[in-house]
Amino acid sequence: MSGPDSIQIEPLDARALCKRRKRFRLESASGLNSASHLELMPVEWRELLTRWVKRGGKSRWETLLKDAGTANLSFAEALREWLLRQGWAIVIEERKHGDWWPQSLELRNLSLLRTTLGISDKEADAQRWQAFREVLHALCDDNLAPALLALDELPVHRALARYDLIAALQRWQDAQQSGTRRDFALSARDDTKGLSESEWNWLEQTLDLAEFRIERHTPLLLLSAPLILATPHGQLDLSSCADFAALTPATIQTITSASGTISRWQLVENRTSFERVARQREHDVGVIWLPGFPPGWWRNAVGQLLDLAPAPAYIACDPDPAGIAIALKAAALWHERGIAWQPWKMSATDLAALRVRKPLVEADRFQLTALSQKNVLPMQLAELAEWMLEHGEKGEQEGYL
């Protein structure tokens, strides 16, 4: 397809209702990539374009808008469209709210752009980064997609300094390794202290490291249950604990059998609420702490425990959109085994009774819509979602559990 000013429009998905598209000018178009056009640019455009080029050539549109500043949003949009018409840019757009919105911008012919803008000293770095970037995109799986996008957001010199961390994460993932931060640092850079604090912060902001089985310290499964767990080295009597026990994943892997009677498992998200429930549990009930979106180590550990001591689940999470998503994720362990589960303390009545509630934000509304479209929600969760949308409020279970 083609649009005005010889701009080509190419759908990026094969569905009948296209949600993403690419806009660009054909390379054969007359006047494409003319350096003389750049030399005639307004000074303000040139300065902004220079900042964009220094980012490496492909960035999220939101990031480029930040470079322009809130007072110059229309200024940035004008530059984007000029670059598109002159053949210097490819724009990826996403359909939202009945219109097309820029998602990312990729600059073309970076070598000529850098030379014309006087930043040719970084050309070699840009070429190196593009080569590394192609390798990473071929190497990494979908779990690392957010990190690859985050690298695109960084200045080239910083992206080059951090690309090895993503490659190391993929190797860690492929080998199904697990451990602490120091274990990963040793694997990535042969030094347990080889990652700086800023690098750790960047990784944590970009990815859920728990999903890659990387913890600050050895993770612990917190639980209270009337069970005696047998291991090759002896027995663990959980019922002897005054409140609850903390077991490492490695310990749980050694368990060969479990004796005792469990009528149901109660999963509680909020840590304070978990401790209250664990101390007050009925004699034949097991209680497990659910640490937010359940990481891989937690799912493996609870799955093994469930195989040894199967029982229905009662899952209690915050009465908010994320809580519904967390409950569904945890419930998958029971669903996979054909064991019943149900929400617990997650009703619209529980939320309405809270003395303090919080307003929903736009992201909450989007999440509720997505959850309803992708899942057949249990009646209690469907009613909770409906109440939140109707009243525009959410809550935390600590207020009543």
Q: Map out the domains of the chain as residue ranges.
A: 4-118, 132-215, 221-399
Can you tell me the distance from the alpha carbon of 110 to that of 400, in angstroms, rounded to the nearest whole number?
Answer: 58
* More confident of the two residues 243 and 297: 243
The predicted-structure confidence for 158-167, as pLDDT tens digits, reads as follows 888 888 898 8
Q: What is the mean pLDDT of the chain?
A: 87
pLDDT of residue 4: 45
Can you tell me the distance from the alpha carbon of 399 to that of 273, in angstroms, rounded to the nearest whole number?
Answer: 9
| Residue 325 clears pLDDT 50, i.e. is over it | yes
Task: Return the CATH number of 221-399, one of 3.30.2350.10, 3.40.1360.10, 3.40.50.2000, 3.40.50.300.
Answer: 3.40.1360.10
Task: Return the CATH number of 4-118, one of 1.10.3470, 1.10.287, 1.20.120, 1.10.10.
Answer: 1.10.10
Is residue 303 packed enough to be buried (19+ CB in 10 Å), middle (13-18) or exposed (0-12)?
Answer: middle
The predicted-structure confidence for 94-106, as pLDDT tens digits, reads as follows 988 888 999 999 9
- What is the number of alpha carbons within 13 Å of residue 150 lying toward its C-beta? 17
| Residue 198 clears pLDDT 80, i.e. is over it | yes
> Rounded to two decimals, what is the model's pTM?
0.58
Domains 4-118 and 221-399 fall in the same CATH topology: no
The predicted-structure confidence for 311-321, as pLDDT tens digits, reads as follows 999 999 999 99
Share of the chain above pLDDT 90, in %: 46
Contact yes or no for 227/255 (Cβ under 8 A)? no
Containing H/E element for 343? strand 341-343
CA dihedral 11, 12, 17, 23 (to 10 degrees): -40
* More confident of the two residues 186 and 306: 306
pLDDT of residue 31: 47
